[in-house]
Structure 1
Amino acid sequence: MTYVILHALAPIFVIMVLGYFAGKTKMVENQNVSLLNVFVMDFALPAALFTATVQTPWLGIVGQSPLILLLVLTMWITYAALYFLCTKVFKKSPQDAAVLTLTVALPNYAALGLPILGSVLGENAGTSLSVAVSIACGSVLMTPFCLLILEREKARESGESHGSALTMLPILMWRSIKKPIVWGPLLGVVLSAIGIKMPDIVLASIKPLGLAATASALFLTGVILSARKLRINAAVLIACLTKNVIQPFIALGLVMAFGISGEVAITAVLMIALSAGFFGIVFGNRFGVQSPDAEASLLISSILAILTLPLFISLTASMH
């Protein structure tokens, strides 16, 4: 099992190290990564998320509603608690807090979901569907929180903010929905719900973009990391503890509270037990927000997953 986890995590480290090397040696400009960010955030990731959601049968999504409930509740609880802690205790700016909390609250479903879940439950259509649903949950029901905060603070800094955040909500939501990273997966879910099947030629046309999404996002993260000094502080330690230990136990608690067992329970706990995701960092960079704590948390959480994932795999073994 340790080999499987290392095998799944290895590409993350290798691609991030390549990005780090490219940034450090100035093969890629690490102070201005806007071009790379546009490719990742506006093209590659939206294409990957759209493909994943539009190819997920609507009946399959509905059938996975217990899994969706568990994942969303766990991610929302984590996001709310950590955002409060970051802004009230660690006195972080709303932008920095939003980036860090999304990095922690949204696991790395895209890169680790299938390898880990497949090794435990077997790689089959059901496993692939569960991973696709997890990705959809994160992209449609989690990322807008971060985007709304980043848009709100951007509006305030530019002097466009008039009135309370509540009165600005429709404008902020529209700005968020207009971004491909949000409307891409959302469009996929809507098309799946109304039964529209995308022509094979369309899916084949955007498939190369989707295949490049995870690798390019990890490479970009490595480039961003190359411009910073890794700092470990109380916020980073709490973020990593939350991601790798507390959040999976929240999922385990919800599984027990709702009386859910079997593959749904195992899937929910293991998906949440994955290491921190890269979405928060690339989102922040798109808005010019740098969060060294989020970057450190991503790196340390990925290393810690080598130890914590076997723990939760063992804890879920009795749920079969």
Structure 2
Amino acid sequence: MLDVLRVTFPFFALVLCGYWAARRQMLPFEAIPGLNGFVLFFALPCMLFRFGANTPIAQLLDAGAFFMYLFCALVMVAFVVAISLNKRFGWNDAAFGALVGAFPNTGFMGVPLLVALLGSAAAGPAIVTIVIDMVITTSLCIALSRLDGAGQQGVGQAAKNALLGVVKNPMPWAILLGTLFSAFQIELPGPVDKTVALLGDAASPVALFTIGAVLARSQTIAHHAQHGPLTWQDYVPVALIKLLLHPLLVLVVGLAAISMGVPIDAFALKVMVLVAALPSASNVAMLSERFGADSGRIARIILVSTAAAFLTFSGAVALLQ
């Protein structure tokens, strides 16, 4: 366990540094979108492209692992929506609560952390989960958020906007381009490859620092009055579901699928269980603001899951070893 903590500590320490810098106004809130833009449009796509290009194509096109993880994501969304809907929280808040309960912070935190723990082979299964969560899980939850008529958009328009957001997001395109380079064994010219490598190497520290800053910003500016004061019952259960139930579900469903003859590699299953054990994706806080959900609740779920994941994620790694 101590050896695992030695690896995971620097990752969570960088998140804490970003949180502290933003709360102390050493990093102005106005600068956070710039950091986020650098990570989203430059550093992270380069990192994902490199991992995709250096990963055997069979790992990136693993249908068994893809549909197993997708099934678990859909179950998580349905479960969190079912327990969240009440007189205070309608479809909008329930749907974004489900998204934050089913969408791990794989891009900003998970890929570099899992590669540090398990080696470069962990990138392939992790990339598969990113595609599922960014394209399917996010689009589904945004469409569900429109069912109570909140805002000016209907379900169909919300789904179109979600898909448009996926198209504009450079990460899926970076993954696709890396997959093509892997399939056809293409290599970048030396100077271009070095530039991509430099940007990719910057992804992990800047992304982790940005996570902390985003959490501090979301917690500070979020308005909690639309449903009355939040209590711990409004956000702690979802954070625990994300950290404990999600990885357990992936493990049980994965083992059941293997026992029924579904060709899922044991290492890929291990990586996907650890992906599910990651804290909630920080970008959901910004999405919830955009669609008028209770961003204060979402920010607290992300904050609690990120803080608790230092122990729960490290424990999951130790158990799976």
Per the alignment, do residues 281 and 221 of structure 1 end up closer, same or farther by CA in structure 2, a change over 3 Å counting?
farther
Do 1:240 and 1:297's aligned partners in 2 also have CA atoms closer than 8 Å?
yes
C-alpha displacement of 1:245: 1.5
CA contact (8 A) 1:53 1:188 kept: yes
After superposition, the Cα gap between the structure-2 partners of 1:157 and 1:296, relative to the gap in structure 1 and judged at 3 Å, is closer
1:91 Cα offset (Å): 1.1
Higher-RCO chain (CA-CA 8 Å, sequence separation at least 6): 1
1:29-82, Cα deviation, whole Å (9 max, x unpaired): 2266332232232222222222222332213334x4443333333233223432
- Asked if 1:146 is matched to 2:150, the reply is no
In 1, distance between residues paired with 2:290 and 2:39? 10
Whether 1:40 and 2:44 are equivalent positions in the alignment is no
Cα distance in 2 for partners of 1:27, 1:172 equals 34
Tell me what 1:82 maps to.
Answer: 80
State the match for 2:206 in structure 1: 216
Indicate the residue corresponding to 2:56 in structure 1: 57
Residues 1:183 and 2:176 are matched in the alignment:
no
Q: Structure 1-normalised TM-score? A: 0.74
In 1, the alpha carbon distance for the partners of 2:68 and 2:167 equals: 24
Q: Count the aligned residue pairs.
A: 303
Among 291, 296, 312, the residue aligned to 2:300 = 296
- Superposed CA RMSD in Å reads 3.8
Unpaired runs of 5+ residues, structure 1, are none
Contact 1:9 1:302 (8 Å CA) reproduced: no
- Which of 120, 133, 147 aligns to 1:128? It is 120
* Seq. identity, %: 24
Does the Cα contact within 8 Å between 2:142 and 2:162 map onto a contact in 1? no
**Alignment CA distance shift 1:50-1:84 (3 Å):** farther
The residue correspondences of 1:138-287 to structure 2 (distance < 5 A) are 138-144=129-135, 145-146=137-138, 161=153, 165-166=155-156, 169-170=159-160, 172-193=162-183, 195-227=185-217, 228=219, 233-258=232-257, 259=259, 262-281=266-285
Q: 1:149 to 1:60 in 2, by over 3 A?
A: closer
- The alignment partner of 1:142 has SS state of helix
- Paired residue for 2:225? none
Is contact 2:72–2:249 with CA below 8 Å preserved after alignment? yes
Shift of 1:177: 0.8
Equivalent pair of 2:81/2:94 in contact (CA under 8 Å): yes
Range 242-251 or range 65-74, more displaced: 65-74
Amino acid of the structure 2 residue aligned with 1:274: L
Q: Which runs of 5+ in 2 are unaligned?
A: 223-229
What is the CA-CA distance between 1:254 and the residue it aligns to? 0.7
- Corresponding residue of 1:20: 19
Q: Deviation of residue 140 (structure 1)? A: 1.6
* Corresponding residue of 2:226: none
